[in-house]
Structures are given as structure tokens and as C-alpha cells.
Amino acid sequence: MNVRSWIWAGSILAALPSAAKAVTPPDESPAAAVEPAAATREPSAPIDLRSETLTVDHRRHRAVFGGGVVASRGDLEVRCPMLTAVYDNASRVREVSCDGPVSATQGARTMTSRSGYFDNVTGELHLSGETTLVEEGRSFSGETLVYETGSSQATLVRARAELSGDDAADLPGSTGPMRITADKVTHDFARHRTIFSGNVVAVRGDVVVRASRLVTIGDDRGHVESGWTEGGPVRVEQGARQGTAERAHFAGGGKRLVLEGNPVITEGSSSLRGDRAVFQVGQGRVEIEKPRAVFPVEELQKGTK
């Protein structure tokens, strides 16, 4: 028998049919208070819970839903094999945790993980274990994922990302999307902005960028429109060619990587300096504005003989 119940305004109101098992101490009655949980971001929005079984333990303040659990709050829907709702003495639900594979959707966003829980006070969905987040032209994965339902912001730890570009398929030598790894990734869905921080490695076509922080801006389809580094020096690789600079930014929808702030380009034993260095992504070449060449002494000596 299908069990359906509601957590309304932070309180649990469970409909217990005869097929469900309610574990209640003899000296207590089932709690049904409707006082909102403090600091709940959407106190008027109910959480609709559906499952095959329901066990309520009022002494431990727990309600366990089992079998094809579906939890809905507004347009957010979470599915898992088993869900436990923990509430306080006033029956205000503090946390809802999921065991087993978890999948969640909100609009065009899809998230998956091995386990997770929803904090009813902060309005945050916490996922852990092989987490993924996909929305049209963007995909993220990591060890943990925190999704803020109120602000539509997501933060991943030890994360990887793939961000599309309009020209990805047309770039000679391009592998398609921009692939980025970082210690931490924060994505703002409303502003289409993604911040990568800590040991950032971004691969775009034949160009590899290493930095401490990278910010990208996309469009409604998830395609990267611009990106820039922050917080320190940048290292770039393009085959045997290497470059360093104080900062860098992607231009032309990711077709060009521009190095500024004392850029130095090294290939073999020779190096070039200039005002700016522009890597042409997927084309294996770099252009330097106002170049100043530096050659090894032995090569200069060879040229005078």
C-alpha cells in the first residue's frame, strides 16, 4: 500500500494507514504540531513524501519511509530507496536523510549521488559519494555536493566540470567542451557564473591552463562566453610550448587565451616576452604583441661564426 504524508512548514503530519507501522510508546501520543521550524527558508512550502512503507518512532523522533520514496518540495523532487525524517520535541523536522542511490531534479537540473540529506533549516540539499549535477550544456561531478534550494547555487568538492562552447566542434584539434578540475567549484545558476578554486586545471582544445582560481560566465544554454583567472600566476601549455603570466582570460567564446602581465613564452631553449601573448586554441600557435626574444648564448655564438 502506498503511504503518503506531508511535512508542512517544518512539522511532520503523517497519514498512517493500516499497512504502515507506527512505533509509539504507550505513554505518548503521535505528535502532530504544526509550528514552523525556525529559519526555514520557505516555511509555507510543504514537503510531500510518498513511499511503500512508513515506520514512526515517536520516542526517538524519527519517521522512516521505505520503498520507492519520492520527496517533493516545490519543484524540487528527490528519489531514494529509504528516507529518514528527524524532528524535535515540537515535531519540527530538522533533517531528512536518504539511504541508497539518490536522484534529485529541479527544473532542467538533475543531481545524483550514493547518499544525501536535506537540511530543513538552511534549505540545503547535501549529496555525497560520486555526485553529479547536469544542466543542459554544463555537467559537474565531485565527492560532495551542496545545493542551495533557495538561491539555486551549488558547491562541489574535488570537482570536475565540462562546459560547452559554440565553436567546440569547429576547432581544429579541439576535444569539444572545456574540461576543468579543481579542489572546489561553486556554480551560480541565476548568474550563469562558475568559480573554480584550488589547483585549477582547465583544458580547452590543445591548451592547458593551470591557476589557483578561474571564473567562467556562460549563456542560457550553458555555453562558455568568457573566463578569466584570479589570485596569482598562470601557467599554460600547448604541446612543447609553455607560457607564464600574472593573469589570463579566454576570448572569442574560448577560441583565444590571452596572457597579460609579464607574459613569457618558452619553447625548447628559447623564450619570448611581450606585452600580451595570445594562444590560438586548437591551432597550435601563439601570437605575441611587441615581442622581445631571448636566445641562449651558444645559439648567438653559432650565429656569429
Is residue 42 a part of any domain in this protein? no
**More confident: 13 or 148:** 148
CATH number at residue 251: 2.60.450.10
Is residue 233 a part of any domain in this protein? yes
pLDDT on residue 259 = 95
Question: Pick from 243, 241, 254, 236: which is nearest to 284 by CA?
Answer: 241
Is residue 240 a part of any domain in this protein? yes
Is the pLDDT score of 24 beyond 50?
no
Residue-range definition of the domain harbouring residue 230: 194-298
Is the pLDDT score of 5 beyond 70?
no
Is residue 87 a part of any domain in this protein? no
C-alpha cell read off for 31: 505528535
pLDDT on residue 168 = 45
pLDDT on residue 3 = 55
pLDDT on residue 165 = 63
Average the pLDDT over 258-279 and give the result.
91
Is residue 214 a part of any domain in this protein? yes
pLDDT on residue 153 = 92
Is residue 2 a part of any domain in this protein? no
Q: How confident is the model at residue 205 (pLDDT cuts 50, 70, 90)?
A: confident
Q: Which 8-state DSSP code applies to residue 253? A: G
Q: How confident is the model at residue 209 (pLDDT cuts 50, 70, 90)?
A: very high
pLDDT digits (tens, 9 = 90+) for 179-196: 999 999 999 998 999 999
pLDDT on residue 100 = 87
Q: State the Cα angle at 264 between 260 and 267, rounded to 5°.
A: 135
pLDDT on residue 33 = 30
pTM of the predicted protein model: 0.79
Question: Pick from 237, 230, 231, 246: which is nearest to 209 by CA?
Answer: 237
Complete DSSP assignment for 187-219: EETTTTEEEEEEEEEEEETTEEEEEEEEEEEE-
Q: Give the span between the Cα atoms of 229 and 222, in whole angstroms.
A: 19
pLDDT on residue 253 = 75
203, 173 Cβ separation under 8 angstroms: no
Number of domain units in the chain:
1
Is the pLDDT score of 21 beyond 60?
no
Is residue 273 a part of any domain in this protein? yes
pLDDT digits (tens, 9 = 90+) for 111-136: 999 999 998 778 899 999 999 999 88
pLDDT on residue 40 = 37
**More confident: 25 or 18:** 25
> What is the phi/psi pair of residue 144, to 5°?
-135, 155
Is residue 38 a part of any domain in this protein? no
Average the pLDDT over 94-105 and give the result.
90
Residue 237, burial from CB neighbour count under 10 angstroms (0-12, 13-18, 19+):
middle
Alpha-carbon Rg for the chain in angstroms: 27
Q: Give the span between the Cα atoms of 162 and 182, in whole angstroms.
A: 12
pLDDT on residue 23 = 40
pLDDT on residue 223 = 79
